[in-house]
Amino acid sequence: MHRLFIGLCPPPPIRARLLAIMGGVPGARWQDDAQLHLTLRFIGEVDGRVAADIADLLATIHAPAPKVAIRGVGAFDRKGRPDAIWAGVAPAAPLAALHRKIDHLLVRLGLAPEGRAFVPHITLARLARGADARAATDAFLTRHAGLTSDMFSCDDLILYESHLGHGGAAYRVAARWPLG
């Protein structure tokens, strides 16, 4: 089985900027450089045949490379407690269009449509389930609310394979296609 998702990788200067602000939230598992990406569509576990079909379909996508910027930070909550800290990415429109295009192709392949609202972001940290990190998370969000970057381009569409372990997920690039 292959645990897959489709995303974009920001260029090294943007990843370095994000890495530089990480810290100060007890219980946070901060992402490393290889984990920083913008998920366009989570797929989940599929067998090898379906994984190959997905790669074949993604190779047919023709879309411009999105030009975006980092704009602020936020957190996702689960059951009333912070679950993940992220950096926002804007403008959302070109990313949402690419997300919809990918989702439509995957549905044609027989996968279920995306069930969650698409929120363009780059995850910075995941928070442990038992951690009481509300105050520290709120302080981080306040401290970095004005986080911005220059516009940058995400030039490749990437099919990632995720391997879960004790220290979190490790990502491997399974395939890559140029955009633009």
Q: 41 with 158: CB under 8 angstroms? A: no
Catalytic residue among 2, 37, 99, 144: 37
Catalytic residue among 2, 99, 121, 144: 121
Can you tell me the distance from the alpha carbon of 2 to that of 175, in angstroms, rounded to the nearest whole number?
Answer: 13
Q: Report the candidate in 61, 86, 54, 85 with the shortest Cα–Cα distance to residue 71.
A: 86
Q: 102 with 41: CB under 8 angstroms? A: yes
Catalytic annotation on 121?
Answer: yes
Tokens of 62: 């023709």
For 138-176, letters b (16+ CB in 10 Å) and e give eebbeebeebebeebebebbbbbbbeeeeeeeebeebbe
Q: Which residues are catalytic?
A: 37, 121
